[in-house]
Amino acid sequence: NAGVTQTPKFRVLKTGQSMTLLCAQDMNHEYMYWYRQDPGMGLRLIHYSVGEGTTAKGEVPDGYNVSRLKKQNFLLGLESAAPSQTSVYFCASSFGQGKGETQYFGPGTRLLVL
């Protein structure tokens, strides 16, 4: 199994450009998450999905949109990129969202917005 994969690995955008980050998992997990990681701030939840066709806002959702059209894929979109969105983006998935459930992470996408 590949686990959780993310595309692309690295991207440079100009302010105002749009892009989509793709996350795919082959573990048949119901739950998927998008986080951003910034220096000194740990990981913060952007959006998440509890199943195909569902999405919900996390801690820092502004400026991002998501879609979960297929169970195995979770897309994160930036409609108009801003320098504040320069970050490392991680996707994660889990079988459930119970207290003891473990989240499994992808390798990350490094995004630079100029």
Partner 1 sequence: AQSVAQPEDQVNVAEGNPLTVKCTYSVSGNPYLFWYVQYPNRGLQFLLKYITGDNLVKGSYGFEAEFNKSQTSFHLKKPSALVSDSALYFCAVRDYTDKLIFGTGTRLQVFP
Best CA proximity match to 43, nearest among 8, 91, 82 = 91
97 binds partner 1 (CB under 8 A): yes
CA distances from 42 to 36, 38, 90 (A): 8, 6, 12
> How many residues are present in the chain?
114
The footprint of partner 1 on this chain (CB under 8 A) covers a number of residues equal to 23
- Cα distance between residue 13 and residue 44, in whole Å: 21
| Nearer to partner 1 (CB atom), residue 17 or residue 43 | 43
90 binds partner 1 (CB under 8 A): yes
Contact positions with partner 1 (CB under 8 A) in 26-45: 40-45
The correct pick among 51, 54, 107, 114 for binding partner 1 (CB under 8 A) is 107
- Cα distance between residue 91 and residue 114, in whole Å: 23
The correct pick among 1, 14, 69, 98 for binding partner 1 (CB under 8 A) is 98
Q: Which residues bind partner 1 (CB under 8 A)?
A: 4, 40-45, 48, 58-59, 90, 92, 97-100, 102-108
